[in-house]
Chain A
Amino acid sequence: MSYQYIKVSVDEAVGIITLNRPDVLNALNLQVVDELVAEMERMDRDDSIRTILLTGNEKAFAAGADITEMADESAIAIMLKDQFAVWDRIARISKPIVAAVSGFVLGGGCELMMNCDLIVASETARIGQPEIKLGIMPGAGGTQRLTKAVGKHRAMEMLMTGEPITAEEALRYGLVNKVVPVEVYFEEAVKLAKQLAGQAPLAVRMIKQAVFKAQDLPLEEGLHYERNCFYLLMASEDRKEGIQAFLEKRKPTFKGH
């Protein structure tokens, strides 16, 4: 597949998607989101890939939606286009998605980051939902996912003031997993992605599903869901390999079935 606004590469079992509109700080227009969702779905089906890594560049992961695109649209036209529907497909990707973010992570960029499962941030990252400053609000999950990630009061503050937070603050808020120097943020994210790629793929996949359920389901239903996933994994080859390797004091080799 050839894309205009993203670059795709593979490092061992890690599929890397790089947002590539540097001249506009990786502003997310409709096409770039279409491209990256299409590529994520392709990687999700590709057996040689076990982790997806999404990144931008040092200056900007993504500085928000492409405002020029929406400037003259009527409310009805935007609704009929339902441009945010494509984002819902990211939540259905079964493989873990690691984000490597640096610089501006704003608006749609922040929402895109929150669609990823683990986040490595550079110290220079500035993360926020500044839509309020334009008299609007997030439309691709910002109010929902941010609240779940950082809690009501911090979400309210970020959303209503529109002020970005530093990477260190984001770490304290639990919005990112790790903060590292800008010179190594991408390499660190690749290391993490490779670590996940070495785990048993079925277990990783079910953990991802179960954690998603934890965010939405009442506890009892979530526990029930978890238990069934656990039982199901007991039927996997990788479970045998994992236990065997442990007893033989060697590293397991997981095959994903």
Chain B
Amino acid sequence: MYETILYEVYDGIARMTMNRPDKFNAFTRQMNREITEALKQAQKDDHVRCIVLTGAGKAFNAGQDLGDVQGTDVDYGEFLRKRYNPMILQFQKTEKPIIAAVNGVAVGAGMSVALACDIRLASENASFIDVFVSIGLVPDSGGCYFLPRIVGIGKALELAITGEKVSAEEAYRIGLVNKICSAENFEAEVMAYAAKLAKLPTRAVGLIKRTMYKGLQMNLEETLEYEAFAQEIAGNTEDHKEGVKAFFQKRSPEFTGR
């Protein structure tokens, strides 16, 4: 049903592969829409408890496909509002952990999308280029929001202003990625990581995600209040009861995501 991405679900993991390898998986209008739709589908599917976003072939994602817009008179503002912004918002609205499995280069909006994911696993061959400035543009698709929040304003400004390539190693050093995986075992390591997340109490994980992202824009009092709400909700889940029960029975909990 999707043409620009592959969407597979197994063992609680929805694996979304951006699939235009000959174009380094660059975004087209259709791919923007299909990623948004696939995230919604994963959100609705109770079997899905973790989402992995990755790229087919050598690249993670090369950003906007300039061939898709070249020569046309583009209203950049509307372009973003219609195509990219709803997609980025959908990453936040999806209350399941999303892993960016950065298999290769992540450029421009491709880098922004990796930043919009909750966890970044990078192949040792991966790299990040906040390329916008090199063509006289500004990081979009959440690039100006997530980057300073992930690596701090000083480093974020440096990356965005210079547009220089960041290696996987450097990305790990500055906290831009959570883990570096070997290139040859990348897929297996990613899926093992995802499998762990897919066994967690998914409702609680979703609430952690919601509360932390909201907390980025709230003060302490508001965040404390929101934590109280989140705890009320989490406290009513089956997984919480299972967690407590398992604790007293001195065994590992079997979470179901309910």
Contacts and interface: CB of A to CB of B under 8 A. Distances in A.
A73 interface: no
Contacts of B230: 181
A184 interface: yes
Contacts of A184: 229, 232-233
Contacts of B232: 183-184
A167 to B, nearest CB: 13
A181 B234 CA distance: 12
Interface string B219-240: 0000000100110110000000
Contacts, number: 12
Interface in A151-199: 180-181, 183-184
**B interface residue count range (under 10 / 10 to 19 / 20 to 34 / 35 or more):** under 10
A251 B97 CA distance: 47
A181 B203 CA distance: 14
B198 to A, nearest CB: 22
A180 B211 CA distance: 12
Interface in B203-225: 210
Interface residues of A, number: 4
A135 to B, nearest CB: 25
Interface in A100-124: none
Contacts of A183: 229, 232-233
Contacts of B226: 181
Contacts of A180: 229
Contacts of B229: 180-181, 183-184
A184 B233 CA distance: 7
Nearest to A181: B229
Nearest to B229: A181
Contacts of A181: 210, 226, 229-230, 233
A167 B229 CA distance: 17
Nearest to B217: A168
A236 to B, nearest CB: 35
A225 B232 CA distance: 43
A183 B226 CA distance: 12
A180 B230 CA distance: 10
A184 B229 CA distance: 7
A180 B222 CA distance: 11
B4 to A, nearest CB: 29
A71 B226 CA distance: 44
Nearest to B203: A183
A168 to B, nearest CB: 10
Nearest to B214: A123
B140 to A, nearest CB: 21
B62 to A, nearest CB: 33
Interface in B110-153: none
A121 to B, nearest CB: 13
A184 B231 CA distance: 11
Nearest to B226: A181
A184 B235 CA distance: 12
Interface string A140-158: 0000000000000000000
B212 to A, nearest CB: 14
A181 B228 CA distance: 11
A184 B226 CA distance: 11
Interface string B35-74: 0000000000000000000000000000000000000000
A45 to B, nearest CB: 35
A36 B225 CA distance: 34
A195 B250 CA distance: 42
12 contacts: A180-B229, A181-B210, A181-B226, A181-B229, A181-B230, A181-B233, A183-B229, A183-B232, A183-B233, A184-B229, A184-B232, A184-B233
Interface of A: 180-181, 183-184
Top 5 closest A-B pairs, CB basis?
A183-B233, A181-B229, A184-B229, A184-B232, A180-B229
Given A181-B210, A184-B229, A184-B232, 9 more contacts: A180-B229, A181-B226, A181-B229, A181-B230, A181-B233, A183-B229, A183-B232, A183-B233, A184-B233
